[in-house]
Structure 1
Amino acid sequence: MKQVLIQAGRAVVEEVPAPLVGSGNILVAVSHSCVSVGTESAGLHMSGMPLYRRALKQPENVKRVLDMMRDQGVKRTLDRVMGKLAGGSATGYSAAGVVVEVGDEVEGFSVGDRVACAGAGVANHAELIDVPVNLAVKVPDSVNMEMASTVTLGAIAMQGVRRAAPTLGETIVVLGLGILGQITAQLLKASGCRVLGSDLDATRVRAALDAGMDEGFDPGAEDFADRVMHLTDGFGADAVIVTAASSSDQLISDAMRATRKKGRVVLVGDVGLDLKRSDFYQKELDFFISTSYGPGRYDPVYEEGGRDYPMPYVRWTENRNMESYLSLIDSGSMDLSRLSIQRYPVDRAGDAYAELKADGDKPLLVFLSYPEHDSKAVSRRVVMSTTPAARSGVIRVGLVGAGGFAQGVHLPNMIKLKERYQLRAVMSRTGANAKSVAKQYEAAYCASAYDEILNDPDIDLVMITTRHDLHGGMVLQALQAGKHVFVEKPLAISPAEVDAIESFYTSHQGGGPVLMTGYNRRFAPAIVRAREVLEGSSTPLILNYRMNAGFIPREHWVHQAEGGGRNIGEACHIYDLFNYFSWGSEVEGVNARGIIPSGRQWGRNDNFVAMVHYRNGNICTLTYTAMGAKSHPKEKMDIYADGKVVSMDDYKQLDVSGGRYKGWHASAMQKGQFEELALLANCLLDGQEWPISLADQLSAARISFAVEHQITE
């Protein structure tokens, strides 16, 4: 399918794999999408900036990069950043089309329904989009699909009006008459208000006046606040809604000076916010921020999980704002047809965006149209135009899940091991991401469907780096397809999935493909050295491990069903280390106790202590906490055995006390990700033993389940 991507300051139309419909989602064949002239022009401009200028405009991202450099080293961080920039990004967040497939657990939508869709990363400029139900609404019969595709813009404007809480007869000013301002002015007129509007562009002022706005003026030609005072008998406006975009602080100052005492100022646009106390203090103004489309926005439980807010308590969610906006178009109370509009077929999206960058008057609305949907033409596999020749004697890899970790760690490591690995395919739920990664790392094709990977006879190893809840099922499917498997931790998030994997190998009587879970820490240089020091100890050991894991907000996916929680999803790494230092001894018991949180910031698997004891006498404890300071090192391990103390600090340093053993140190963390792939290649190509035994992999998962049961019950 065709999709518009932003790359280095320009829009390009790429052929990418079509998405599959997700559970709780609908698959929509797009007929029209609306280009948000202001927002998308800004994104286009930003993407063309040199890296240093972007950094100046986005200092929060600079901090993230510096933190990553500290943890992962400079080269790995730069590889990840440059790969992200080279791949381009999906764009668009407002579209309309027809439902062609309905996912599991979806009610209220059927194939053939006309729908309008919202959401960045969802309602993209693409032929097919996979849309969560709370980001889609049905389109009334009399509303054409072109106008329906403005639904996101309408919901944004409507939320701004709701924050202003207008009443009949009030005078309200709209500052900025781009498309959001135009819609806002019409919404206010429909609410029975006297509407004043202001914009530097006289054509926009005229357009709003033609649509029913009462008064309009150019703030550059006369003092904005003085003009409003003149038009309101010296009192000022009851409310000012700021829909302009500017880095200047003057706009918000003008808005406050133009508002009456005890009036309201609502910010919808993106403006400078260096507030002057004198503008608002004596007037006792109310200042409101309007968040995008309304309640539910940025809440993954609402938007992705499909859980609605009850109407008696949250009357106007983003979904209900979308419905309300379309009903106003249906009734004739909202009419955008007379605004300046440009239309392009999706094949000419590059021209549309080039026009937005050019000097001169800009349209208020830009629509992209799409060819009629043909289900037979839908492909979930796209062959890359330039592909290196297939090589013999290497492991041909199908990557499943192409997120930041795979791009920042595993793919660069495979390049270092290019004599052992060749990337054949990249599969991602997001087709544009799959193609971007496939292009960067020279895969033969990209895909959005797992079956494409499983049915490819030229793939030897399936590398699974998806969200945690998919691991167990995908592992079993790949094994059943005869593929070797590397799966990022955890192996699975439920006992039933682990049992099914064990049953697979039992039925193969010890044979079958190789399975490796990404418990990379056991291959870290510091850990390998520690094991060498302790090899042949005459006493059992005591191992104390501390993980200062850091706080993760409760709404993060790691805490949701797809993540499995932090014990199952992350602490399993440490349970594998316990197994590694127990030399194959069986687990005899697991005891765990967690802090029962008094507030909502932590879950019950955020802060706990677990103890695992082994048949050989080893006692291993993990202190896992989200309550510590980020500035403190994340991980520390101390092992006591046979007159020695082995101490590891954050995978950068190993100290040994007792005996004549040397320690080890490095300038950056070395957690064993490169070594694990090197050893896996030795196993698959040279016939060496599995890097991690099946018993250890199953044991680490089952320890995590035992701990989870005790800390959450």
Structure 2
Amino acid sequence: MTKTLKVGLIGAGGIAQGVHIPNYLKCGEKAEIAAVADVAKEKAEECAQKFNIPNMYGHYQDMLEKQDLDAVSVCTPNKFHKEASIAALNAGCHVLCEKPPAMNIQEAEEMAQTAEEAGKILTYGFHFRHAPETEALKRFVDAGEIGSIYSVNVNAMRRRGIPGWGVFTNKELQGGGPLIDIGVHMLDTALYLMDYPEPDTVLGATYQKLGNRKGVGLMGEWDWENFTIEDMARGMITFKNGASILLNSSFAANVEKVDEMNVSLMGDEGGADLFPLRIYQEKHDTLVNLTPIKLPKKGYHELEIERFVDACLNQTTPLSTAREGVILQRIIQGLYQSAETGEAVKLDQFIINGIK
């Protein structure tokens, strides 16, 4: 591995141009963006010109064959995560794939197995793990300040936040709606703070009440006539260690807050809300609240990209692992299946094509 990581981009859309490329550029000499590929070749050309990227391609396979790359960011719709990630791993590249890991368990498992066989890093774009609030709370958790975490509330709620761009409302390309798009962020953050316990049973419910009719959009106008995802999802997850999570996620719901992304932990030694960070404890016969007066200001995405680059250069374990991605995908798929059948899903018995 060279001292400068040669990076390729698969997908030249908003997440690539707005997040990945600018933050690779902030890495200075540690990273060099060598190429970009997009099936819409004109988008790859535009991206290459905008950011002075020397090579552009209409298909990522051509890029992987012709460029000597060390790492790849996969910035495609969810449907293409598996194919692109596996191709990059087999080409000898480390991979940072945008969330969610994939469309289903089988794909996430194939991706993890390929990374293990190739001896390469496969990590996911769960940038809320890199938030200063998350890092601070994780230190408290690891120090035993919260004790045994047994109850968690997860909220990823938008009042009218259906994206009016991209393919976010297309189930075929995305695999689902708010649960797999924004709910997965807060669910991963909660699981990370809990040290990713082994899930046991899930019970889910999904709703399509507001997204399939014309309405006020706070994130642009959406194609309500071709709205094929849920606009709200709810779920309960229980774990083998006795802990449980209650999850709420929406693109559109009749609630007060315009946007809420939060995790609330309850343990036998303390509790916490994450955004903003507040810690609740009993000390010396007194109930106390702890609130930080200063936290680092570096951006979540900037830290995510910087740490991915460092992990690749130093051959260290990334903050988000491929195996955690498989666990997360099992939970998400279990919740969707439970919502379809109306029955709780025991994940030990949740086997599809031989994969648990």
TM range (shorter): 0.7 to 0.9
Q: 2:162 matched to 1:552?
A: yes
Name the SS for the 2:73 alignment partner: strand
Name the SS for the 2:182 alignment partner: helix
Residue 417 of structure 1, aligned match among 7, 10, 27:
27
Q: 2:252 matched to 1:640?
A: no
Q: Which position in structure 2 is the counterpart of 1:287? A: none
Q: Write out aligned runs for 1:627-706 (5 A).
A: 627-628=253-254, 632-649=258-275, 653-658=276-281, 661-663=290-292, 672-706=300-334
**Which whole-Å deviations, capped at 9, do the CAs of 1:586-637 have from their partners, x for residues lacking one?**
1122221234649944766321212222223322221112214586332122
Deviation, 1:681, is 1.8
Residue 60 of structure 2, aligned match among 450, 460, 470:
450
Letter in 2 for 1:548: M
**Structure 1 residues 599 and 639: CA distance shift in structure 2, 3 A:** closer
Q: Write out aligned runs for 1:75-224 (5 A).
A: none
Kept in 2: contact 1:400–1:464 (CA 8 A): yes
Residue 81 of structure 2, aligned match among 471, 483, 492:
471
Residue 565 of structure 1, aligned match among 173, 176, 187:
176
**TM-score, normalised by the number of residues in structure 2:** 0.79
Q: In 1, distance between residues paired with 2:196 and 2:257?
A: 36
Q: In 1, distance between residues paired with 2:270 and 2:137?
A: 11
Residue 540 of structure 1, aligned match among 142, 149, 157:
149
Structure showing greater relative contact order (alpha-carbon pairs closer than 8 Å, 6 or more residues apart): 2
Q: In 2, distance between residues paired with 1:559 and 1:457?
A: 34
Q: In 2, distance between residues paired with 1:556 and 1:681?
A: 27
Kept in 2: contact 1:656–1:663 (CA 8 A): no
Name the SS for the 2:66 alignment partner: coil
**Which whole-Å deviations, capped at 9, do the CAs of 1:54-94 have from their partners, x for residues lacking one?**
xxxxxxxxxxxxxxxxxxxxxxxxxxxxxxxxxxxxxxxxx
Kept in 1: contact 2:150–2:242 (CA 8 A): yes
Could you list the runs of 5+ residues in structure 1 that have no partner in the other structure?
1-390
Aligned-pair Cα RMSD in Å: 2.8
**Structure 1 residues 555 and 420: CA distance shift in structure 2, 3 A:** closer
Q: Which position in structure 2 is the counterpart of 1:710? A: 338
**Structure 1 residues 603 and 641: CA distance shift in structure 2, 3 A:** farther
Q: 2:29 matched to 1:403?
A: no
Letter in 2 for 1:400: I
Larger radius of gyration: 1
**Structure 1 residues 419 and 642: CA distance shift in structure 2, 3 A:** farther
**Structure 1 residues 595 and 621: CA distance shift in structure 2, 3 A:** same
Q: In 2, distance between residues paired with 1:555 and 1:692?
A: 28
Name the SS for the 2:237 alignment partner: strand
Q: Write out aligned runs for 1:607-646 (5 A).
A: 607-625=232-250, 626-628=252-254, 632-646=258-272
Letter in 1 for 2:198: E
Letter in 1 for 2:278: D
Q: In 2, distance between residues paired with 1:656 and 1:439?
A: 47
Name the SS for the 2:85 alignment partner: helix
Name the SS for the 1:617 alignment partner: coil
Kept in 2: contact 1:554–1:603 (CA 8 A): no
Deviation, 1:440, is 2.8
Deviation, 1:494, is 2.6
Name the SS for the 1:594 alignment partner: strand
Q: In 1, distance between residues paired with 2:165 and 2:230?
A: 14
Kept in 1: contact 2:176–2:229 (CA 8 A): no
**Structure 1 residues 428 and 630: CA distance shift in structure 2, 3 A:** farther
Letter in 2 for 1:583: D
Name the SS for the 1:490 alignment partner: coil
Q: In 2, distance between residues paired with 1:479 and 1:706?
A: 27
Q: Which position in structure 1 is the counterpart of 2:230? A: 605
**Which whole-Å deviations, capped at 9, do the CAs of 1:560-607 have from their partners, x for residues lacking one?**
211222122332222322320221421122221234649944766321
Q: In 2, distance between residues paired with 1:438 and 1:432?
A: 10
**Which whole-Å deviations, capped at 9, do the CAs of 1:464-522 have from their partners, x for residues lacking one?**
1111111111111111222111111121113332232244356x2xx621101111111
Q: In 2, distance between residues paired with 1:454 and 1:683?
A: 21
Deviation, 1:557, is 2.3
Deviation, 1:406, is 1.6
Q: Which position in structure 2 is the counterpart of 1:81? A: none
Q: In 2, distance between residues paired with 1:491 and 1:423?
A: 23
Kept in 2: contact 1:582–1:616 (CA 8 A): no
Letter in 2 for 1:621: L
Letter in 1 for 2:331: I
Letter in 2 for 1:591: L
Kept in 2: contact 1:521–1:527 (CA 8 A): yes
Kept in 2: contact 1:520–1:671 (CA 8 A): no
Q: In 2, distance between residues paired with 1:545 and 1:515?
A: 26
Name the SS for the 2:259 alignment partner: coil
Q: In 2, distance between residues paired with 1:645 and 1:624?
A: 22
Letter in 2 for 1:593: A
Deviation, 1:662, is 4.2
Q: In 2, distance between residues paired with 1:607 and 1:620?
A: 17
Letter in 2 for 1:586: E
Name the SS for the 2:20 alignment partner: helix
Q: In 1, distance between residues paired with 2:243 and 2:138?
A: 14
Deviation, 1:667, is 11
Deviation, 1:678, is 1.7
Kept in 2: contact 1:423–1:441 (CA 8 A): no
**Which whole-Å deviations, capped at 9, do the CAs of 1:309-356 have from their partners, x for residues lacking one?**
xxxxxxxxxxxxxxxxxxxxxxxxxxxxxxxxxxxxxxxxxxxxxxxx
Kept in 2: contact 1:522–1:528 (CA 8 A): yes
Name the SS for the 2:99 alignment partner: coil
Deviation, 1:455, is 0.9
Q: Which position in structure 2 is the counterpart of 1:18? A: none
Kept in 1: contact 2:186–2:261 (CA 8 A): no
Letter in 2 for 1:524: A
Name the SS for the 1:605 alignment partner: coil
Residue 581 of structure 1, aligned match among 193, 199, 205:
193
Kept in 1: contact 2:128–2:189 (CA 8 A): yes
Kept in 2: contact 1:521–1:671 (CA 8 A): no
Q: In 1, distance between residues paired with 2:277 and 2:115?
A: 37
**Structure 1 residues 598 and 646: CA distance shift in structure 2, 3 A:** closer
Q: Which position in structure 2 is the counterpart of 1:132? A: none
Name the SS for the 2:173 alignment partner: coil
Q: Write out aligned runs for 1:355-434 (5 A).
A: 392-434=2-44
Q: In 2, distance between residues paired with 1:486 and 1:604?
A: 26
Letter in 1 for 2:292: G
